[in-house]
Amino acid sequence: MGNLLNYKDDGKKRNGRLFYEIWGDLESQNTMLKIVVVLMSLIAGISIFTSFYTYETNRVPIVIRVNKVGNAQVLRDLPFDNRVGTGEIVYFSKSFVREFTGFNSLMIKTELSMALNKMSLNYGKGTLSMIARSKFVQKMEKADITSEIKFKKIRLIKQTINHDELKLYVIRTVVSNSNPTIKNSTAYEDKLILKRIKRSIQYPFGLEVVYFGSLKLGGA
């Protein structure tokens, strides 16, 4: 009888150990699977981010090439090392001057943003800080004016391996939106220094503005 009781007790102990061993193994396996799933998710996330970053960095941009007479041609497969042409330099410079000195009360924020995006990082930060301190945008919005820009002459006065220096002779005519008969025209000599950089999605022309200055020549 004693042996039978001992056998039952031993059986319970063995069954108890077996239950906890199986449960422990399952619990360990579940924990391991969770760790594996988390690691795989992290790896997948890193892979997706890396792929997206690589794609954005190396994607060939759509570039609009402009020749000397102003004809445009869309180039979808332009390689990143394609040399910047004179037509692109002139077109880029005229676009920047229009955006940065257009002085259009209705479009001032949009045009300034486009101009700032054409600047180098440091030059853009300094210019934006100056604009904010002077409250230029608020003043322009209240002025209720529109500007017309005519380019009289553009000179490429200096070229190096990495930089292009231009002088643009323009006439800016400021017109009142409330009374179009009120207008004022002034001649300016604008100086622009461009740096040649690698073409990218942000800089499809392969150019960035590193300096801009404007000299008032007088009434036009």
- Provide φ and ψ at 54, rounded to 5°: -65, -40
Q: Pick 79 or 87 by higher pLDDT.
A: 87
Together in a domain, 124 and 203: yes
pTM: 0.63
* Residue 158 domain-assigned (yes or no): yes
Together in a domain, 115 and 181: yes
Stated as kind and residue range, the H or E segment containing 186 is strand 183-196
Together in a domain, 50 and 90: no
pLDDT tens digit sequence for 97-123: 999 988 888 888 899 999 999 999 999
Inform me whether the pLDDT recorded for 54 exceeds 50.
no
| Residue 5 pLDDT level (bands cut at 50, 70, 90) | very low
pLDDT at 119: 93
Number of Cβ within 10 Å of residue 191's Cβ equals 14
DSSP type of residue 200: -
Together in a domain, 191 and 97: yes
Percent of the chain whose predicted confidence (pLDDT) is above 90:
31
Q: Is 174 helix (H, G, I), strand (E, B) or coil?
A: strand
For residues 125-154, average pLDDT: 90
* Residue 73 domain-assigned (yes or no): no
Please tell me the total count of domains within the chain: 2
Together in a domain, 94 and 26: no
* Residue 26 domain-assigned (yes or no): yes
| Residue 126 pLDDT level (bands cut at 50, 70, 90) | very high
